[in-house]
Structure 1
Amino acid sequence: MYENTRQFVSALERAGELKRISARVSPVLEITALADRESKSPAPSLPSEATRRTDPRFCHLGGRALLCESVEGSDIPVLINQFGSYRRMEMALGCDSGGPALRAGPGSESRATKGLEALALRLGHLIKPEPPPTLLAKLRKLPELFELARIPPRKVRGAGTCQQVVIRGDDIDLTRLPLLRCWPLDGDLGALGYPADINDRVPGIGHGPEWEDRCRGRYITLGGIHTIHADDREHPNPPSRNIGMYRVQLLGRRIMAMHWHMHHDGARHWRSWKARGEKMPVAIVLGGESVLPYAATAPMPPGISELLLAGFLNRGGIPLCRGVTVPLDVPANAEIVIEGYVSYEAGMPGFDPRTAGADLGPGAVFEGPFGDHTGFYSLPDRYPILEVTAITHQRDPIYPTTVVGLPPQEDYFMGKATERLFLPLLRTIIHDVVDYDLPMFGAFHNCAFLKVRKEYPLQARRVMHSVWGAGQMAWTKTIVVVDDDVDVHDTAAVLRAIGERCLPGRDTELVRGPLDILDHAAPFLGAGGKMGLDATRKRGDAEEHPAHLSLNPLAAELCAAAPVGPALGDAARAAEARLRTIEGVLDARIPDELGGCWLLLRAAPGARGDAVIKAIGALAEDIALPPWTVVVGPDADLANLDDALFHWMANTAPDRDRSLSKCGRRVAFDATPKRPGETINGLPVRDWPPILRMTEAVRTRVSRGMAESPR
């Protein structure tokens, strides 16, 4: 770990993990195009052996961190993709091969180790400490207790390094910061069918052709948002200190839009200030200790500050100084801090200006759209205004940022670090879990694979419901539970286990509950169906009785005589040829590596997925087809399994888009784009966003500039 961003940049450069871009680049789309291409390229070096074992297919990706030294419209260089590989994540957290070996502590696996596994062992030891049995053991534990005592943040006297330059009042101009427009439609309300001028009457909002060209849709994307609960407003050391990583949209020289989801701690804090009728102080922190950005993304339990996790990872408390215009403490070693107040007057999200009588109301703006980590644009909605009261920064600061989109991006490696570090906590909460994996195609909240050591019937269902009640994993849309003989980090192995051990009508758990706000396929904002697949071996009538085969009690009697796969080899190729003759089908694949149990179809533009599924059902009366079918839209690539699965997870609502055969042995999912406003199986379809695509003109311009820039 490193004390500040500059130290981390120097270390990355020494390790061959940084590339300087000397050519002049624009923060409008061009830096995104550079980073997107880099993140999908091979990284200069591999991570620790343990990390390679848990992500063997993608551990080599990530390219290099990029330092853009000449950015149009700003004097500040831009650092991007700094955490965009496993090796760089391990460097940032101080557990790479060049760092000190770590020990889990006495009474557990105490071998010296490196990588994310090392931190997971240390964290697990703290979560589940064993009382020292002897006096000698107690003495040996003293260094650990001393280390814990150093974790809390510590206040520094006077100004912090982040306050070498202070800008206030009319001198504030957020447009001088190199905030990125990441994707072409970011901030373009009209392109998605919303009134383009809805924010024009808000005081301080920029508009007009020049603003549209230079500043529309630019965001802070790697800022730690520091907040406290209103009840702690007079507390010298607020116990509710929270750091969240939320996007913040540029709207004027001193005006921004604060976007947070209703279940985030920052939004909960805002509601506490709203209840008091007082504007909420916030500080947006960019840079600082290399552990800070990761800590801001970590799913900490309620009441435990991310600053404590940062102190644990940093091997010492994060130094804080007092903000210059807000009653908050901020990391003293940050590169840039933006201080301000969030309006309490704004109404809640769920606002549509196209409805009759819609009133945006005071203190709010219509924020978005924004190209998000889901791979699609998140749709615009009402969020509160942030009025900036000060910008402070180091002399000659560096602006750290990131881009999210179709994986892998920088956030993939940060999320996988969380997967590894929080395994001990998950196992403490749910003792059945041996290991788990958040596959790339699931974009974190859409899918989770869990491995259990099965000991009794229906254990997998217990695990599913436990996960749906476990912190931020509560938003997981699809859970797959497998036995401990399945490699949970091998997607093909998990899908084979589903095909071999999971009967669709019998072994699927459907529930309703909260979902990620960004799930555009959900029938309601932040709410809808979830699905659990029990891919474990079954035990006795409690799991295998024919009456359980379908949600229909008469399923056993209705079971059709139609053959059910798997289809392999020549039989699979023949079936694919027949399937490609179906109207509206562009391609069909039955991948042999999935055991012949999965059928993937790509529908033509405008084709209805439910019509394709109906045609497949008719064909299944003549030939054996796999039990699991997924119909995706024209944007998907069936030759790339991860891409096909990404579209399945992103574009499906399990309670609306799942078609189960009468016999309960075959299921099909309609993962095609839906038509907004229609009703399917009694559930609505909301506005459907476009998938993220960079313009060809920007790609060409960036490629030409890169050719002129030395590596």
Structure 2
Amino acid sequence: MAYKSLREFIDTLEKAGELIRIKEYVNPELDIAEITDRISKTPDRNKALLFENTGTEFPLLINSMGSEKRMCIALGVNHLDDSMHEIEDLFKMMSAPKNGILEKLAMLPQLGKFASWMPKVVKGKGACQEVIMADPDLSKIPILKCWPEDGGPFITLPAIHTKDPNNGIRNIGMYRMQVFEKNMTGMHWHKHKVSARHYNEYKKLGKRMPVAVALGGDPVYTYAATAPLPENVDEYMLAGFLRKKKVELVKCITQPDIEVPADADFIIEGYVDTDEELIWEGPFGDHTGYYSLPDWYPRFHVTAITHRKGAVYPATIVGIPPQEDAWIGKATERIFLAPIKMTMVPEITDMNMPVEGVFHNLVIATINKEYAGQGQKVMNAMWGAGQMMFNKILVLADGKVKIDDYLPLAQYVFNNLNPVTDVYFSQGPMDVLDHSCSKLGFGGKMCIDGTKKWEEEMTEPLVPFKLNTAFSKEAILAALPELASLNDNLARKYDLPILFVSIKKDRPGHVRAVHDAICKMNGVEGIKMILYVEQMVSADDVTDVLWRFCNNLDPRRDHFFGGANNNILGLDGTRKTKALDNFDRPWPNIIAADEATIRSVDEKWSSLGLGKLIISPSLKYSTQLYRGGAAVLDSE
């Protein structure tokens, strides 16, 4: 379904009972984010929010794709798998042998669909240019400051348009934009991203780089800007396919080399001077649930701001999951499964990126295994597949296993796992937001091969696990007072050979020493894996443990084996410091609202029309903030 405007999408959400209008004034600085955080993390009250009084002339839409239902409404499908199946059918049709002229002619209507998806530049001005700001001023837009230690207000849903200066190929990406002045922002282009490559090409040529930012319009535009497409595939072709209607583009007014969607709500035009000094941007409360560290990024100078009449400003917040970005990522997981299966990893049957893994950190895949070593083949193929190169932990199982039923999945994986021979460690490119790497953008990876093993892959028989009756959680805690908590529920109740341990780390090598001590305790034999987190995390809170663990682990650096046969794998998911871990990078803080914001929202909640007060999710973490909530720790 093609939406004519963001307003039409809003009306559709409202008719579906998926939107709440908030008429009371709410401050875009911190308060809107805090309200959204509460709503998005309360499943039975999770709705899109339209803040109609933002202190500017523009309302603000947020959390519009923050559930599976709303993500489906945005994409115009009944189920997120629908687009995947359509892509899969197209691949099969195009690749099937054609035995005669009639079969070839029968393909023509299908080939015609490709032309109907291609974007088209139209003459004249678009609805996005109905109003032209005489004096471009970003402060007239309700741009959010989401978290207390953010470097400033950030544009969080920008579709950023750039072109390769050598071949003119367009790229649309989504990179946050910190507002520094009324007509200047940062451009947070990670070094692995296409826009960063375009910037480098302009710099070689000694030219200014034209840039345009689209906000709003059909929500498919926003999704397409996040999609992990091959570099030379136009994001608006994907948008045309998803909406079943080509995207109409118009030339920018002050940057005519760039075309933007005619029906967007806002267009911010400008340039990046590649000879100009970079600007110190950040920190920013990011999708990992931690503040991303500040760094140097290019400056974007605004030359024009245009918008449609009745424009709505779209925004999102990212932070401790689950948030809206989890559902955008889930759509990507489903839509791009078909291309991965058809072009790169044909044996893959399904894929899942759990919310706790915040996209790249944890990926689970099932495969049709037909020979020994196929798990390693899939591992290498996936780590070489586009943005999957950023994956940190990959878990593999056989295709017959249901990928989102986590308990039987975990039982299957551990029943087929010898930690010594079936866990593989490597290193390579990592997301620059990964704070656990010893070096920016480069760190360790781990593959857990839980597929059924062929004879050639086995060094000894795998014996079903049953927790030894001699195992005593109480004895371990008594012997090791530095342990804050220990969770043996999965081992005791579900025959999963894994323990979660929370430790008060106070000396170099402490976690490894504790691991060795636990492995020597009576009854621990048979345990295959022990996960360690810091003392403020309750080992019984499995969701919190996995989120912290996935963020704070560099698998290659932070693993060790213990036990009589050296076959119990320990993984150190605690935070790292210079003093205790010889870790030279700053370590970021977790994201949480401050007391003043929590109190402000509590006081106005009854006037917002949101029902009974929802307690702030940040209160769970407010006592865990290092140095009173500072965004970035010293590496000491």
**CA–CA distance in structure 2, aligned partners of residues 392 and 634 of structure 1:** 51
**CA–CA distance in structure 1, aligned partners of residues 101 and 552 of structure 2:** 59
Within 5 Å, which residues of 2 pair with 1:157-168?
157-168=123-134
Within 5 Å, which residues of 2 pair with 1:609-688?
610-625=509-524, 626-661=527-562, 663-676=565-578, 679=581, 684-688=583-587
**Which string of whole-angstrom CA distances, capped at 9 and with x for unpartnered residues, describes residues 315-336 of structure 1?**
1110111101112101010000
Within 5 Å, which residues of 2 pair with 1:436-451?
436-451=351-366
- Counterpart of 2:317 in structure 1 is 403
**Which string of whole-angstrom CA distances, capped at 9 and with x for unpartnered residues, describes residues 42-100 of structure 1?**
257xxxxxxxxxxxxxxxxxx1100001113x22111000011111111111113xxxx
Quick one: which of 583, 586, 601 aligns to 1:702?
Answer: 601
Shift of 1:587: 0.8
When residues 135 and 43 of structure 1 are mapped into structure 2, their CA distance, relative to the original with a 3 A threshold, is farther
**Which string of whole-angstrom CA distances, capped at 9 and with x for unpartnered residues, describes residues 654-685 of structure 1?**
121111126341011111111147655xxx44
Shift of 1:608: 5.3
**CA–CA distance in structure 2, aligned partners of residues 608 and 84 of structure 1:** 42
Quick one: which of 68, 91, 112 aligns to 1:146?
Answer: 112
Of residues 143-152 and 427-436 in structure 1, the stretch that sits farther from structure 2 once superposed is: 143-152
The question of 1:378 aligning with 2:292 is answered yes
Quick one: which of 427, 430, 440 aligns to 1:515?
Answer: 430
Shift of 1:146: 2.6
Counterpart of 1:333, as a letter, is: D
- Counterpart of 1:539 in structure 2 is 454
**CA–CA distance in structure 1, aligned partners of residues 517 and 47 of structure 2:** 51
Shift of 1:533: 1.1
CA contact (8 A) 1:123 1:424 kept: yes
Within 5 Å, which residues of 2 pair with 1:550-569?
566-567=466-467
- Counterpart of 2:486 in structure 1 is 588
When residues 512 and 497 of structure 1 are mapped into structure 2, their CA distance, relative to the original with a 3 A threshold, is same
CA contact (8 A) 1:183 1:693 kept: yes
Shift of 1:635: 4.1
Structure 2 counterpart SS, 1:150 = helix
CA contact (8 A) 1:566 1:624 kept: no
- Counterpart of 2:376 in structure 1 is 461
**CA–CA distance in structure 2, aligned partners of residues 701 and 270 of structure 1:** 42
Runs of 4+ aligned residues of structure 1 deviating over 6 Å after TM superposition are none
CA contact (8 A) 1:676 1:688 kept: no
- Counterpart of 2:60 in structure 1 is 78
The question of 1:315 aligning with 2:244 is answered yes
When residues 81 and 341 of structure 1 are mapped into structure 2, their CA distance, relative to the original with a 3 A threshold, is same
The question of 1:242 aligning with 2:171 is answered yes
Shift of 1:455: 1.3
- Counterpart of 2:497 in structure 1 is 597
Shift of 1:156: 2.0
Shift of 1:579: 2.8
Report the count of equivalent residues.
600
CA contact (8 A) 1:564 1:665 kept: no
Structure 1 counterpart SS, 2:50 = strand
- Counterpart of 2:628 in structure 1 is none
Of residues 149-158 and 323-332 in structure 1, the stretch that sits farther from structure 2 once superposed is: 149-158
**Which string of whole-angstrom CA distances, capped at 9 and with x for unpartnered residues, describes residues 510-552 of structure 1?**
1111011111001110001111111122222x32236x99xxx
CA contact (8 A) 2:410 2:496 kept: no
Shift of 1:636: 2.7
Shift of 1:565: 6.5
**CA–CA distance in structure 2, aligned partners of residues 65 and 665 of structure 1:** 49
CA contact (8 A) 1:287 1:400 kept: yes
Within 5 Å, which residues of 2 pair with 1:171-250?
171-187=135-151, 217-232=152-167, 238=168, 240-250=169-179
Q: Superposition RMSD on alpha carbons, in Å?
A: 2.2
**Which string of whole-angstrom CA distances, capped at 9 and with x for unpartnered residues, describes residues 564-583 of structure 1?**
97527x766x3255336522
Counterpart of 1:589, as a letter, is: N
Quick one: which of 50, 74, 77 aligns to 1:92?
Answer: 74
TM-score w.r.t. structure 2 length? 0.90
When residues 412 and 27 of structure 1 are mapped into structure 2, their CA distance, relative to the original with a 3 A threshold, is same
**CA–CA distance in structure 2, aligned partners of residues 607 and 668 of structure 1:** 18
Gaps of at least 5 residues in structure 1 are 45-62, 97-114, 188-216, 233-237, 346-361, 550-562
**CA–CA distance in structure 1, aligned partners of residues 578 and 262 of structure 2:** 48
TM-score w.r.t. structure 1 length? 0.81
Counterpart of 2:122, as a letter, is: V
**CA–CA distance in structure 2, aligned partners of residues 280 and 127 of structure 1:** 36
**Which string of whole-angstrom CA distances, capped at 9 and with x for unpartnered residues, describes residues 283-309 of structure 1?**
111001121111111111121011110
The question of 1:68 aligning with 2:69 is answered no
CA contact (8 A) 1:246 1:259 kept: yes
**Which string of whole-angstrom CA distances, capped at 9 and with x for unpartnered residues, describes residues 83-121 of structure 1?**
11111111111113xxxxxxxxxxxxxxxxxx1222111
**CA–CA distance in structure 2, aligned partners of residues 578 and 3 of structure 1:** 63
Quick one: which of 579, 589, 598 aligns to 2:477?
Answer: 579
- Counterpart of 1:303 in structure 2 is 232
Structure 2 counterpart SS, 1:528 = strand
When residues 676 and 333 of structure 1 are mapped into structure 2, their CA distance, relative to the original with a 3 A threshold, is farther
Quick one: which of 329, 332, 340 aligns to 1:426?
Answer: 340
**CA–CA distance in structure 2, aligned partners of residues 93 and 577 of structure 1:** 54
Quick one: which of 245, 250, 264 aligns to 1:334?
Answer: 264
Counterpart of 1:290, as a letter, is: P
Of residues 276-285 and 171-180 in structure 1, the stretch that sits farther from structure 2 once superposed is: 171-180
The question of 1:8 aligning with 2:9 is answered yes
When residues 635 and 71 of structure 1 are mapped into structure 2, their CA distance, relative to the original with a 3 A threshold, is farther
When residues 634 and 31 of structure 1 are mapped into structure 2, their CA distance, relative to the original with a 3 A threshold, is farther
Counterpart of 1:242, as a letter, is: N
Structure 1 counterpart SS, 2:501 = strand
CA contact (8 A) 2:508 2:580 kept: no
**CA–CA distance in structure 1, aligned partners of residues 290 and 464 of structure 2:** 35
Counterpart of 2:514, as a letter, is: A
